[in-house]
Amino acid sequence: MCDSTIKGVRITLIRTIIPPPTPQNPRENDPDSLRERPERTSLLMEDDPARLYRLDGVAHIELYISVCGSFHAQPERCIRSMRRQQGMRLDDRYVPYLQMAGLYHLARLNDRWFRLDEALVSAFVERWRPETHTFHMPFGECTITLQDVAYQLGLPVDGRYVSGCLSEFHIYIDGGRPPWVWFQELLGVIPPPSQVQKYAVNCSWFQETFGECPEDADDDTVRRYVRAYIMMLLGTQLFADKSGNRIHIRWLPYVARLEQLGTYSWGSAALAWLYRCMCRVANRHVVKLAGPLQLLQSWIFWRFPQFRPAGYETFSWPLASRWAGYNPSGSEKGPRVRSWRLRIDRLQSREFIWMPYSSPDVLQVLHPEVLEPRHMAVWRSVTALIYFAVIEWHQIDRVLPQFGGVQAPPRPALNIDYLMSKDGRGGDRWFPSSMPKWHAYWDARHDSVLRFEIVADPGPSHQFLQWWTQFGKRFLAPDIELGDPRSVPIPVEASQRGPGRVPDMDPPDDVPDRRRVERRMGVGTRRSQRQFRWPDHTARSGADHGDDDDDQPGHVGECTHDGGTSTHDGGHGGEWYGTGLGDGADTGDAGPGPGPLGDYFVGVPADDQAEQGDGLCYNVFKELT
């Protein structure tokens, strides 16, 4: 601490003192160790040869945990799942339409409801990397693929992309109508203004109006009830938003042609939306998680046997229905997040099931349409996943063992940050025309199917594990909690698998978000012009730091802590309905920021709010990010 006086005003400068590093861990001396933690000297994209962590500077939760874990505080952020059960009864008269649409198994799954273990999912979200769309684990990368969507939810994955426009149907669709005119034509009734927010209708209104189809209903009436049921099914089970209680009318063009619903790839659209939702909640400032969360939790239970609840051994179709009735504890979520984090850190390679769907029990309940060659081929396609304005990349080249292959060190991660910043706001449009290149990738999905050797013992190669030791962020818990300091050698079977081979691919060019070039060096809030400072630079410029004329509480780069608690739910607030996708408009959320940098899908906080922290850990993290 030092004092100085400027024009009679006494200014006290406080410098945050970082404790000396702990003694070197013996495991760090072993170059063939799976527990060696690589040094991270920079968070900038160009300093990362693997391009795996270019978004660390955008408030990624993993960075926050790593910094705080180096001291005495451990974050215990637990996400809140915005998910509800579809409350409308599945009438037998709906079944032919649902089967024709490829949504019948999803409707049955809705009747076999299970709750989300938010603490477990929170620990997995910490491992999610938006750059690769994979979970980064001690043993390598793994992810949810189109194969998992087909088995877990029973959805078709081959078909036309789910895209179009959001509300201006009369402009972009041949035979379309103005939105509310079409709504009344298709459903026979229009909701009162109190049940509508922009272009979204409250779920409660759907349930009260279409909860049960009259016994003496004619065919036209049944079709209206089927349309309402499908809109609710899609809006709650696959494409739920953070409001958790509204259905967007973007589905009107789809339910207008019930006989054509089966031609669409509902599985790829659902996976695109889940990817985008997890990318958003990877931001430490976001706490609400939406999307097809039953897919996420069931994937965890099927792939990680140690994490399964006991007593759920009855197999049924779709496979996610196995966990019907599961109701995890809702108490002490913060400590449970820490416990799950440590358990994941201690995972061994044999504790992850690379191919869970080849067991005889699964084959007995499997529905044959899942194994149609056209669907199975798309599982191994590296292509664009599309849900209206949402474009994500299906990167199965990074998880070849999930399809029976050997994983070699992969190619650099594709940079499509600019696409990932697109969410449909800024006016409606016909998305296949505004983003034709990426829709064309899905159209050519069968041309990008990977071909690789299938082996009896799939898994990562020795070369991959060496690469992963150098570049992967495999551990989040502090060393003191990991226990045994001895190095863990690379398994012998990894060498026996051979080196593996990166499949031939023709990847697209990067589409980086050029709006973020300046922000990479000056990570702040949307409304802040604070400059990014590394700790050593901050120490050198302490005097200037105290004289900043536009200091405001909570800005990045300050060493202040006002003890406030942020309730901000993420960078995608404002009014989503009508021009945007998905999220409800929470009053605490802010819309897109002003200026050329705009918004970003895992952006920094929308307001200049201080995150709840703990002393030194909080201050150091504010300096690092």
pLDDT digits (tens, 9 = 90+) for 113-153: 899 999 999 999 999 999 999 999 999 999 999 999 999 99
CA angle 36, 38, 44 (to 5 degrees): 160
CB-CB neighbours of 147 under 10 Å: 21
| Cβ–Cβ under 8 Å, residues 520 and 597 | no
Kindly report which listed range (1-10, 91-100, 161-170) carries the lowest average pLDDT score: 1-10
Of 242, 478, 224, 243, nearest in space to 345 by CA: 478
625 has pLDDT over 60: no
Tokens of 586: 């929470």
- pLDDT score at 451: 93
What is the per-residue pLDDT for 332?
81
Q: Which of 447-456, 521-530, 553-562, 592-601 has the highest mean pLDDT?
A: 447-456
The answer to whether 200 and 247 are in contact (CB under 8 A) is: yes
576 vs 433, which has greater pLDDT? 433
Query: Beta strands 390-393 and 384-387: pairing type?
Result: antiparallel
pLDDT at 547: 38
Report, as an integer, the average pLDDT of 200-210: 95
Model's pTM, two decimal places? 0.77
Say whether 136 sits in a helix, a strand or coil: strand
Which helix (DSSP H) or strand (DSSP E) does residue 401 occupy?
none
Which is more confident, 328 or 500? 328
Q: For residue 456, what are the contacts with CB-CB under 8 A and spacing of at least 6?
A: none
The span from the CA of 203 to the CA of 194, in Å, is 12
Cα–Cα distance, 441 to 509 (Å, whole number): 12
Question: Which helix (H) or strand (E) is 98 found in, with range?
Answer: helix 95-101
390-393/134-137 β-pairing:
unpaired
Look over the chain and give the mean of its residue pLDDT values, rounded to a whole number.
77
Instruction: Please count the other Cβ atoms lying within 10 Å of the Cβ belonging to residue 538.
Output: 19
Residue 455 pLDDT > 80: yes
Q: How confident is the model at residue 515 (pLDDT cuts 50, 70, 90)?
A: low
Report the C-alpha gap between 102 and 153 in whole angstroms: 11
Q: Of 27-41, 72-86, 217-231, which gets the smallest average pLDDT?
A: 27-41
The runs of H, that is alpha helices, within 304-359 are: 333-345
CA distance 122 to 593: 27
Q: Is the pLDDT of residue 226 over 50?
A: yes
CA-to-CA distance for 176 and 169, rounded, in angstroms?
5
Q: Indicate if the pLDDT at residue 474 is higher than 80.
A: yes
What pLDDT is attached to residue 210?
A: 95
Q: List, in sequence order, every residue forming a beta bridge with 596; answer none if it has no partner.
A: none
Q: Enter the tokens of residue 204.
A: 């409660």
Winning range, highest mean pLDDT, from 45-49, 452-456, 617-621: 452-456
Domain boundaries, the chain: 80-322+329-382
Which is more confident, 563 or 490?
A: 490
Quick one: pLDDT at residue 476? 86
Q: With a cut of 70, say whether residue 339 has pLDDT above it.
A: yes
Q: How many residues does the chain have?
A: 625
Does position 587 have pLDDT exceeding 60, yes or no? no
> For the residues 42-67, what does the mean pLDDT come to?
63
| DSSP H or E run through 213 | none
Q: Residues 559, 562, 563, 564: is their CA dihedral positive or negative?
A: negative
**pLDDT tens-place string over residues 369-406:** 888 999 999 999 999 999 999 999 999 999 999 999 99
> What average pLDDT does range 199-204 have in this prediction?
94
| Alpha-carbon distances of 70 from 58, 63, 243, 477, 521, rounded to whole Å | 20, 11, 36, 9, 24
Which residue has tokens 């952006």? 603
pLDDT of 529 strictly over 60: no
What pLDDT shows up at residue 419? 83
